[in-house]
Structure 1
């Protein structure tokens, strides 16, 4: 887990951490770029939810990378600051699955490796 201040200025740290994980796992350049973009979008959205810190969890298992971002208590603020609809457009293009957990506490992203999302 990576815990960073909930400020968009830290998006680069999250983006680089996720991209480094993908590169070390020998993913292709396109997959590394998808992971980087998804991590940044997920983090920036999480920053807008009224929390002081964002906890980011990354996992690489069985051809998938999952990224979970903790959300604060104010999802309504996130919807007005950065429309989830705009985030959904980008995430839909690069993720196999994404959404907010039923308890509204986590934004969860799943990316397939090896370009599998291109075949949808």
Structure 2
């Protein structure tokens, strides 16, 4: 548990095969914010190669790409989160909010059954 209580980390597993979780969602958010796969990867502490690999995995799993990129060069490249990518991110974030709100009672009940520091249980 954190100081503010437990956190939910949503991890969706599809047969595509694709795992969509907090890391890929954050990568999409940062690509949208910075307009760059490499900048997003740097912000997350990962190499460009790793960030690009995750983008390729996302793009391959969906009917339409989630990220559109252009090659670098003298003017520099760039990347944008496509409307499909924005929709996926919106739905993922909606699920996170739903679980946090509707799961609060269950989270508290599980927390009450846990050992707590300093009380010997």
Question: Under a length normalisation based on structure 1, what TM-score does the superposition of the two structures give?
Answer: 0.26
Answer with 1 or 2: which has the greater Rg: 2
Q: Tell me: higher relative CO, structure 1 or 2? Use CA pairs within 8 A at least 6 residues apart.
A: 1
Question: Under a length normalisation based on structure 2, what TM-score does the superposition of the two structures give?
Answer: 0.26
Tell me which protein shows more strand as a share of its residues: 1
